[in-house]
Amino acid sequence: MNLPNFLTLTRILLVPVFVMAVVYGHFSWAIVIFFCAGITDGLDGLIARIRHQKTNLGAILDPIADKLLLTSAFIVLGVQHLTPFWLTLVVVSRDVIISLGMLVVVLLGLSYEIKPRMVSKATTAIQIITVLAVLAAQLQFGVRRYLMVFYGVTVVLTIVSGLYYMYLGMKILNP
Cα distance between residue 11 and residue 124, in whole Å: 14
Compute the half-sphere exposure of residue 56: CA atoms within 13 Å on the CB side of its CA: 2
Per-residue model confidence (pLDDT) at position 121: 87
DSSP-assigned letters across all residues of 24-73: TT-HHHHHHHHHHHHHHHHHHHHHHHHTT---HHHHHHHHHHHHHHHHHH
Per-residue model confidence (pLDDT) at position 140: 86
With bands split at pLDDT 50, 70 and 90, how would you rate the model's confidence at 41?
Answer: confident
Q: Are 57 and 43 spatial neighbours (Cβ–Cβ below 8 Å)?
A: no
Q: What is the pLDDT of residues 42-94, one digit of tens each?
A: 888 889 889 888 888 888 888 889 899 999 999 999 999 999 999 999 999 99
Q: Are 11 and 65 spatial neighbours (Cβ–Cβ below 8 Å)?
A: yes
CA distances from 30 to 6, 63, 134 (A): 21, 21, 11
Asked if the model's pLDDT at residue 112 lies above 80, the reply is no
Per-residue model confidence (pLDDT) at position 106: 85
Sequence spans of domains, the chain: 3-173
User: Domain 3-173 adopts which CATH fold?
Assistant: Four Helix Bundle (Hemerythrin (Met), subunit A) (1.20.120)
Cα distance between residue 74 and residue 165, in whole Å: 20
Q: What is the pLDDT of residues 117-139, one digit of tens each?
A: 899 889 999 999 999 999 999 99
